[in-house]
Amino acid sequence: MFTKILIANRGEIACRVIKTAQKMGIKTVAVYSEADKDARHVMLADESVCIGPAPSKDSYLVMDKIIAACKQTGAQAVHPGYGFLSENAVFSRRLEEEGIIFIGPKHYSVGQMGDKIESKKLANEAKVNTIPGYADAIDTAEQAVEIAKGIGYPVMIKASAGGGGKGLRVAFDDRECLEGFTSCRNEARTAFGDDRILIEKYVLEPRHIEIQVLGDSQGNCIYLNERECSIQRRHQKVIEEAPSPFISEATRKAMGEQAVALAKAVKYQSAGTVEFVVGSDQSFYFLEMNTRLQVEHPVTECITGLDLVELMIRVAAGEPLPITQADVKRDGWAIECRINAEDPFRNFLPSTGRLVRFQPPHETMFQANTTDLFGVRVDTGVQDGGEIPMYYDSMIAKLIVHGTDRNDAIAKMREALNGFVIRGISSNIPFQAALLAHPKFVTGEFNTGFIAEHYGAGFRAEDVPHDDTNFLVALAAFVRCKSRERAAGITGQLPGYGVKATQDFTVVVLSENGKAQYQYLPVHVEEFAGKTGLAAIHVGGKSYEIHSDSRLNDVRIEGVVNGQPFTAQMERGTVKNPLALRVQHNGTKMEVLVMTPRAAELHRLMPFKAPPDMSRFVLSPMPGLLVDVAVQPGQKVQAGERVAVIEAMKMENVLFAAADGVVGKVLATKGESLTVDQPIIEFV
């Protein structure tokens, strides 16, 4: 067994590998870019080596620097995590030549499976179901149309070297095929330096289901059940679960056996994933093989009780698999939500900056621990006060729950999301909460088009269903009452001016859209005087008996309402109103003022202060780097004309003029780091 390994990655996956290595008594070496010098994975490792500037092309993707770090520290093996160099056959071969073990498959397996055209040919030879299509590179758009007609529309046009949704189009007729072939080819050439394109049948109402496989150097290979990964946004997975609520035992067995056949055909040694597209009739076809650990591996760890990272390390060290196919368990139901630094209410634009507050929900399951299951686990590479840099992907944590069945897992996940406190940046937690509450998700009736179908026009605050918003009002009144109750008990108050614990309030619900649309809700409170943490709140014809021992300054409030446990978030003072309370529960946010009835009467008479008119400005929709300003003062600009480009988290966002106009001032310079809503250009 190795005594020291280097992790050629960053973020949560680097932390994940370190945890297993610690359990196994193996020393770890972290590598980091200048942007990650204070990152969590650097703090967790035994040693660390800086490998260059912030951009990954100058640090995490430079093979020579990683090999040099191995030699400098005496690391005998490298775990690549996922992304970066994890599926680079040249990297794994170079390590082998240097006498360093690659904790993953052999370079020839990576090379064969990394090429979509080559992998499809191999799958056919291994008698794995493949989608009808044309497996050789296509030269012209006209040839593509002829091939598409032969296969039958709709067809999928995709780059051989593609990934992450780039170089991918669906065509339903000849015109779309012509356009799709050309744009795919251009995208592939730019993104991957490889413009080979293939065409295959597009499966209607497809599900994305993948099989986890595990092979060793002795020729043993097993499958560890499946993962359901159909909830995707723009080909990026959002929620994953194991097992799938859709496939039958017979389909599971057939898919597993075909995945193992393919892995054996390429002499696969390590953990890997064979991805299938599954039709509504349970017909399934090979999509591709990921020759690395997957982001969503924890859900498989939950239901099987296996540590996949440990098994990867043991196989790389030459050990045989410790289990056979008959030993593989499928116990309970696991779900993973990817928590991303993005603003779902701004079309999921990246959100970077400092994590002013980062409090994950209470964990009962832990990385590298296969004993304490049926609970909540958080995999992350950040900590309270840490920075979310603009140079890498947007995922800041993975929230994993393990339940006795699917409904139990959904309930656990909703409660865990309620308790996940993230401040300083925006996150996609409200969107995750909405997905988990959607009736079609709850019943398991979804496919890869689910998000496009239900949230195609974007995600809005009203898309988050809350079954009882009066509970949020009652909770705000409860917290305000407890605050006044404590204040009333303070000694030495001026006679006649002391705080009194009253029973009647008016809760003013503030509007989110900057308009003067306020709700005034009368609230009556009983049985709170002298009873710590207990109150009966009456609002909207309903009664809420709330009991909570959370402290008044806690952001996360836990307790019981009408006998049912709850977790919610409460903040005092917002940017818009320092006197307001912001309540958050089940993805819904509400800003309220809790007042005496007389103060509410006077509040109704207050003139409404409208937000400033910013229509003359081009504002930055996200934090990021201003990489280009395409206009100058005095220049005439037409609606739809490109005016600026902002870059963050591997994503380029082009800003266009909303109307015709003349540029008055350019307020930001190229190379400047922008904040959300920072003015860039002013029109006259």
3-state secondary structure 301-333: HHHHCCCHHHHHHHHHCCCCCCCCHHHCCCCCE
DSSP SS3 for 223: strand
Query: In whole angstroms, what separates CA 15 from the centre of its chain?
Result: 17
Q: Which residues are catalytic?
A: 288
The strand pairing partners of 49, in sequence order, are 31
Q: Which of 493, 470, 501, 488 is nearest to 596 (CA)?
A: 501
Q: Which of 252, 236, 276, 410 is nearest to 330 (CA)?
A: 252
| Encoded tokens for 132 | 């009808």
Cis check for the bond before 389: say yes or no (omega within 30 of 0): no
C-alpha span between 668 and 352 (Å, rounded): 18
| Encoded tokens for 349 | 């634009």
DSSP 330-350: --SEEEEEEEESEEGGGTTEE
Considering only the C-alpha atoms of the chain, give the largest distance between any 2 of them, rounded to a whole number of Å: 91
C-alpha span between 101 and 578 (Å, rounded): 57
C-alpha span between 624 and 343 (Å, rounded): 13
Q: Which of 243, 284, 283, 246 is nearest to 262 (CA)?
A: 284
Query: In whole angstroms, what separates CA 273 from the centre of its chain?
Result: 19
Residue 683 in contact with residue 664, Cβ under 8 Å? yes
